[in-house]
Homo-oligomer: A and B are copies of this chain.
Amino acid sequence: SRSINLAVIPGDGIGQEVVAEGLKVLSAVLPQDVKLETKEYDFGAKRYHATGETLTDADLASLKQHDAILLGAIGDPSVPSGVLERGFLLKLRFAFDHHVNLRPSKLLPGVATPLAGQPEIDFVVVREGTEGPYTGNGGTIRKGTAHEVATEVSVNTAYGVERVVRDAFARAQARPRKKLTLVHKNNVLTFAGHLWTNVFNKVAEEYPEVTTDYIHVDAATIYLVTDPGRFDVIVTDNLFGDIITDLAAAVSGGIGVAASGNINPTREFPSMFEPVHGSAPDIAGQGKADPTATVLSVALLLRHLGYDSEADRIDAAVAADLTERAGQPARSTSGIGDALAVRVAG
């Protein structure tokens, strides 16, 4: 009999609320013969304040035992900026070598977008997750003085770039439009830019059916608002991916519906799935948060574990629910979760 051994990290703020709904929908969609085991972890601001710990070696060893990780959100204004981000979120992505940060953007029928004319949007960003300016390389001298110098080093390796570019080509090849766009800034960041561009062009030779394209990151933000339909699959570096996926989420229904997977395709370590949004302390505990992004992240999780038809059922349920919701008064977090659980079970 099949089983899913899931690590659950509700985290801070609305993370708690949205993860509860994600689990509700997950339980509802799984067939009877699949045994779901969950273990909850208390990472986040509360634990940091109580113990000073963000993510220990023992935590990592424990997390490693699971098939996958579901995360709500980590972060609180009471913790200095960077402590939980570098000490938990990025530490986990790096420790578990989550090099494929997958972020689909699809504007579903009836969903509000800030763009005029309700354009068709259906693309996926493959963001590199373990290199670039996110490595924590760099430093500060003469801190706090008028002569302070602070550096940040973007580290890019052929090994790291090639594996994520390959993943993106394979995804593009599997989609009807078979189009892959490299987003970088190779006219200014020429060292990293040449590496990315050369690797991209080299791997492209193995995928003659995939149409390729290159766009500078600044121009990409223009197209994301004037012609988002031009994108099918985008592959990009860690920082550019961070920036354009927030914009992509904004134009395709908002961060309330933006899902993501921090994926290790080798399965050497469990992959982690999380909504793109943060902990939103301003609305936490009020039942106002939209759990849809978390539910869609559960669908990505299921697809990663090979439960494709269950993932499809969640996607369909969300699409139907969003269409039904259009123009209606806002529903509560658990109201949305309940409705989705009913739909996926039915």
Contact = CB atoms under 8 A, between A and B. Distances in A.
Interface of A: 81-82, 85-86, 90, 113-117, 133-134, 136, 138-140, 142-159, 162, 185-195, 197-198, 217-219, 221-222, 224-226, 239, 242-247, 249-251, 254-255
Contact of A148 (B90, B189, B195): B195
Contacts of A157: 147-150
Nearest to A227: B114
A65 B85 CA distance: 49
A110 B149 CA distance: 46
27 contacts: A81-B190, A81-B197, A86-B188, A90-B188, A113-B116, A133-B133, A133-B152, A133-B188, A136-B190, A145-B158, A147-B157, A148-B195, A149-B158, A150-B192, A150-B195, A151-B191, A152-B153, A152-B192, A153-B154, A154-B154, A218-B243, A218-B246, A218-B247, A225-B225, A225-B247, A226-B254, A243-B243
A134 B190 CA distance: 10
A186 to B, nearest CB: 5
The 3 closest A-B pairs by CB, nearest first: A218-B246, A221-B247, A148-B158
A164 to B, nearest CB: 15
A138 B154 contact: yes
Given A139-B191, A189-B133, A195-B140, A158 B147 contact: yes
A147 B159 contact: yes
B156 A154 contact: no
A207 B194 CA distance: 43
A221 B221 contact: yes
B243 A225 contact: no
A14 to B, nearest CB: 16
A134 B193 CA distance: 13
Contacts of A217: 243
B159 A146 contact: yes
